[in-house]
Amino acid sequence: QVHMVESGGGLVQSGNSLRLSCAASGRTCSSCGMGWFRQAPGKEREFVASISWDGSLSQYADSVKGRFAISRDNVKNTVYLQMNSLKPEDTAVYYCAADVAGWNTNRQSAYEYWGQGTQVTVSS
């Protein structure tokens, strides 16, 4: 079992930055692929970014490409999402997830473990 805990969310003005963190505990997940997803009010949860187990591969949703960056520290069992140039449309609950297969995937069904989410609100 992997326990995921997100942190770093909050209220920011448009154009500012936030860095989300997701710490994994329990079963070692240094070989897990990790992903970030988000769900805005009234919308389905959507893919944001993912990173392979060794950090060599990553991918992003078109809506965040060039503004967000995913990274990981396998010593700390933590994955990060640096969010720059935030927009009101980035407002959502952000979830991190772990894929024990270790791949870099945007498919929600591939992820076995999920955090509880952290709220990000961007004001205009």
User: Distance (Å, rounded) from C-alpha 71 to C-alpha 39?
Assistant: 21
**Rounded average pLDDT over 26-37:** 87
Structure tokens at 11: 């209220």
Cβ partners under 8 Å of residue 68, min gap 6: 48, 49, 60, 81, 82, 83, 84
Each residue's pLDDT tens digit, 44-94? 999 999 999 999 999 999 999 999 999 999 999 999 999 999 999 999 999
Cβ partners under 8 Å of residue 75, min gap 6: none
DSSP secondary structure string for all residues of 83-94 = E-S--GGG-EEE
Structure tokens at 57: 């591969």
Q: Could you tell me the pLDDT band of residue 41, with boundaries at 50, 70 and 90?
A: very high
